[in-house]
Amino acid sequence: MRLIHTKGFSQGERRQWKVTIFNNLIHAFQCIQGAMEEHEVAFANPQNIKSMEVVCSEPEIGTDDPMPLDCMHAFKNLWDDDGVQGAIAKGHEYALHDNLE
């Protein structure tokens, strides 16, 4: 609502929520990876196994740290993968955040 009706978030608020959002992304992709294994869904691009390894290595950031480039690339590669998108489409079958889509 704040994005729609006001001028968005201040720099301080963005910095405050960055770690939470980053951790939510890590958790969501780990959940997707578990669902893909359970339902035997393969990555459309087999090279994304390496991207998932980055996500599953439990990376961390602090409030003043920039987004690690390896994580940013991993998030993008995984999001663009048709196998991952197929698992997201079935997110109602497991504990996937509703707002990931």
- Give me the chain's average pLDDT, please: 86
What is each CA distance from 7 to 16, 21, 27, 36, in whole angstroms?
17, 20, 29, 39
* Whole-number pLDDT of residue 3: 57
Instruction: Locate the domains of the chain by residue range.
Output: 9-100
The Cα 10–Cα 97 span in angstroms is 25
Instruction: Place domain 9-100 in its CATH homologous superfamily.
Output: GI Alpha 1, domain 2-like (1.10.400.10)
pLDDT band at 13 (very low <50, low <70, confident <90, very high): confident
What is this structure's pTM?
Answer: 0.81
Mean pLDDT of 48-58: 96
pLDDT band at 78 (very low <50, low <70, confident <90, very high): very high
